[in-house]
Structure 1
Amino acid sequence: MQEGRFIYLAGFGVEKRLILATAKNIREVFGFEVRFSYITLSPRLGYNPYRRQYHASTILESLSRVHYPDMLKFAALLSFDLYEEGLNFVFGLAQLGGRYAVVSTYRLKSEDERLFFERVFKEVNHELGHTLGLMHCKNKKCVVRFSNSLQDVDAKSRFFCENCSKILPKP
């Protein structure tokens, strides 16, 4: 098992209720306790005025300087639109086998709050799965399956399939 015992969670421009619900989701799915980080980001960090989006890798790189002695993983929820070179947008980004992940709530919104929260949980679980070494899965219901649209997000579960679950570390 890796060093650390807690998954740290930070929010930037997202409601406290969503952060608290996401922490509960992380405890339920991964079995790790969650602590909250109150770091700040420069408001223009990674902003591309031509695209009117934020570069996900730039934000991820900045967050990777954050470290807590008892930290297993670090996930950030962001309210703004993210992109990566060559893509129109990304729902999130993570360091494969690393510690850090970011998820944008921007394109996950719905008038149905339950659906919105569920989408966020799925993308957080997806990105944390990558930090735990999981690649994209071919199982249509597995949370670590690649999502290119909201329909893809809505079609999958917020849980890992049996094969991916076997790979995940236990708390």
Structure 2
Amino acid sequence: MQYPRDRRLSYIGATYIGNFTDKNLIFEVFDEANRYLAQNDLPIRFLYLGKLEVGPGYLINIPVGDKQVKGYPLEALIEALYARLLQEIHKDESFQMRRIFGLTTFPLVSRNQYFHIYEKFLGFQQDILGMKIMVLSMKPFESEDKELMKSRIFKGVLHELGHSFELEHCPNECVMNPPSDIDDWDRRPPAYCSSCMRKLQGALTAELLLRKEKKMGR
């Protein structure tokens, strides 16, 4: 999934981490997100960057009850995604890509420095020097039904994208409304509510105006 680079748009680097056999599902999720953004006249698009290679040495064993599951330390993924984003920026510093989104097949965990336990995350994002690093685990969304799994991940992508533009959790029928369980998530409409859409449009407009002012040297 490569799109012509339109200078009127902002872009989000799109990648995935892990051994996911159905790569088409990844492409379809980001394609669907781009269609949704275009249909709603939102001047931002995902740009596929290929798979992000993170060595198997980063995987750790996480105790879950009497079992062990493998997962990625959140800090390692954030660092790898940031490095990949910098690589793209250095190719063309005038190109508007200040965000990167990584999907991963493994759980996301971070070691609590106070209690020495691993905290699990579904999605996470971090600001680094004005750049937004976003990561979402596909593990909780797994299903034998490909279309159902794709819908779940798509809504997760919109949710994290909203957070990257300062949208908070929302009580409405909206992807910004966090679910109580996976069935609740399946019932959630794959869209922002009108209130969140207005906030997102406003945030994007403000970002584009700031970019124009910087370009004009104000």
Fold shared by both chains (TM-score > 0.5): yes
The aligned amino acid for 2:104 is L
Q: Which has the higher helix share?
A: 2
Q: Is 2:47 the counterpart of 1:30?
A: no
What secondary structure is seen at the aligned counterpart in 2 of 1:137? coil
Q: Is 2:51 the counterpart of 1:18?
A: no
2:123 to 84, 92, 115: 92
Q: Is 2:152 the counterpart of 1:122?
A: no
2:62 to 42, 50, 65: 50
1:112 and 1:11 map into 2 onto residues whose CA distance is 20
What secondary structure is seen at the aligned counterpart in 2 of 1:125? helix
The aligned amino acid for 1:11 is Y
2:167 to 120, 134, 137: 134
Unpaired stretches in structure 2, ≥5 consecutive residues: 1-7, 39-43, 64-68, 90-94, 209-218
The aligned amino acid for 1:165 is M
Change (3 A) 1:27 1:79: same
What is the percentage of aligned positions where both structures have the same residue? Answer: 25
What secondary structure is seen at the aligned counterpart in 2 of 1:17? helix
Larger mean CA deviation between 143-152 and 55-64 belongs to: 55-64
How far is the alpha carbon of 1:24 from its aligned partner? 1.2
* TM-score normalised by the chain length of structure 1: 0.82
Unpaired stretches in structure 1, ≥5 consecutive residues: none
Decide whether the 8 Å contact of 2:174 with 2:189 is kept in 1: yes
Query: Partner of 1:66 in structure 2?
Result: 84
Q: Which has the higher strand share?
A: 2
Change (3 A) 1:57 1:7: same
1:154 to 186, 193, 218: 186
Change (3 A) 1:27 1:89: same
Name the Cα RMSD after superposition. Answer: 2.6
The alignment of Structure 1 onto Structure 2 pairs a total of residues equal to: 167
Query: Partner of 2:108 in structure 1?
Result: 82
Query: Partner of 1:102 in structure 2?
Result: 135
Residue by residue, what CA displacement relative to the aligned partner does 1:74-103 show, whole Å, maximum 9, x if unpaired?
Answer: 111111122355786432212379522111
Change (3 A) 1:94 1:148: farther
Higher relative contact order (CA 8 A, sep 6+): 1
Decide whether the 8 Å contact of 1:60 with 1:93 is kept in 2: no
What secondary structure is seen at the aligned counterpart in 1 of 2:121? coil
Structure showing greater radius of gyration is 2
How far is the alpha carbon of 1:119 from its aligned partner? 0.3
What secondary structure is seen at the aligned counterpart in 2 of 1:10? strand
What secondary structure is seen at the aligned counterpart in 2 of 1:49? strand
How far is the alpha carbon of 1:4 from its aligned partner? 6.8
Q: Is 2:198 the counterpart of 1:166?
A: yes
Decide whether the 8 Å contact of 1:57 with 1:93 is kept in 2: no
2:14 and 2:48 map into 1 onto residues whose CA distance is 5
Change (3 A) 1:41 1:4: farther
